[in-house]
């Protein structure tokens, strides 16, 4: 299924940019028609478009107030803040709160591990910029955005415990976190989109695993 969809995407790109050669290709036979050179050309074009759209979203140096706001939003999704906060909630809360805080912390750590592996695979450098040296030194790779993935995953997890307006705020925050990473030159647009999709998938999976997680923890404590 995934390969078929990917093939269709390649075909659409090819028909647009290489019409004389690929105007009769169908998704069913894309595997035989595409060669490495064309695939690299398509990838290069996609990255050029990604860079162009990213540059349009970057904040100018004069927008100090908006830059500071975006810095605050970006830091609000730092993993260590969330892990410390969840640790305090786990210590001070009731038994069910302990389980929920532990589960969210495990989800954050698991997502960080997945993002790390994907970044190690793609090794896309971050955009050039001055702000966020701690991110650039600790993690020089850009694809996908860990902040965007984490924020969207937490927004999905909020469905488990929150009311409608709180959930809406979580999702709005997730979108702003992703945009902040672009406007501050820490990620490309494609990095953030991939992070959102990864976070949404991870959050939905985590919601399915929560009952299993609680049963294991309770069995270990008894």
Claim to verify: residue 69 and residue 159 sit in the same structural domain: yes
| Position with higher pLDDT, 42 vs 214 | 214
User: The whole model's pTM is what?
Assistant: 0.77
Claim to verify: residue 216 and residue 120 sit in the same structural domain: yes
Residue 222: strand, helix, or coil: coil
Claim to verify: residue 162 and residue 206 sit in the same structural domain: yes
What is the average pLDDT value for the chain, to the nearest integer? 80
Q: Which two tokens stand for residue 6?
A: 């990917």
Claim to verify: residue 53 and residue 115 sit in the same structural domain: no
Write down which residue in 57, 73, 95 finishes a domain: 57
Phi, psi of 141 (to 5 degrees): -95, 155
Buried-exposed string 149-170: b where 16+ CB fall within 10 A, e elsewhere: bbbbbbbbbbeeeeeeeebeeb
* Residue 202 confidence (pLDDT) above 90: yes
Claim to verify: residue 49 and residue 120 sit in the same structural domain: no
The boundaries of the domain holding residue 207 are 64-221
Claim to verify: residue 41 and residue 77 sit in the same structural domain: no
In this prediction, residue 13 has a pLDDT band, given cuts at 50, 70 and 90, of very low
Claim to verify: residue 167 and residue 192 sit in the same structural domain: yes
Claim to verify: residue 185 and residue 134 sit in the same structural domain: yes
pLDDT digits (tens, 9 = 90+) for 144-181: 999 999 999 999 999 988 788 899 999 999 999 999 99
Predicted pLDDT of residue 206:
93
> For residues 115 and 168, is the Cβ–Cβ distance under 8 A?
no
110 Cβ neighbours under 8 A, 6+ residues apart: 202, 206
Domain count, the chain: 2
Claim to verify: residue 206 and residue 136 sit in the same structural domain: yes
Highest-scoring range by mean pLDDT, 77-81, 92-96, 124-128, 132-136: 77-81
Write down which residue in 27, 57, 87 finishes a domain: 57
Phi, psi of 89 (to 5 degrees): -65, -40
């Amino acid at each position: 299924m995934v390969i078929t969809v990917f093939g269709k995407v390649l075909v659409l790109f090819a028909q647009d940019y290489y019409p004389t050669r690929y105007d009769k290709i169908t998704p069913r036979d894309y595997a035989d028609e595409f060669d490495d050179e064309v695939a690299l050309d398509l990838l290069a074009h996609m990255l050029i478009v990604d860079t162009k759209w990213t540059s349009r979203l970057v904040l100018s140096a004069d927008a100090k107030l908006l830059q500071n706001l975006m810095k605050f939003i970006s830091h609000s999704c730092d993993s260590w803040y969330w892990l410390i906060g969840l640790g305090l909630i786990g210590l001070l809360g009731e038994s069910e709160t302990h389980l929920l805080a532990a589960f969210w912390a495990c989800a954050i750590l698991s997502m960080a591990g997945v993002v790390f592996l994907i970044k190690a695979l793609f090794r896309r450098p971050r955009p050039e910029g001055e702000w966020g040296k701690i991110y650039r030194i600790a993690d020089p790779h850009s694809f996908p955005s860990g902040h965007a993935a984490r924020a969207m995953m937490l927004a999905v997890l909020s469905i488990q415990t929150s009311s409608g307006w709180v959930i809406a705020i979580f999702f709005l925050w997730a979108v702003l976190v992703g945009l902040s990473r672009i406007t501050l030159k820490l990620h490309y647009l494609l990095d953030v989109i991939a992070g959102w999709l990864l976070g949404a998938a991870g959050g939905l999976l985590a919601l399915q695993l929560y009952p299993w997680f609680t049963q294991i923890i309770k069995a270990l404590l008894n």
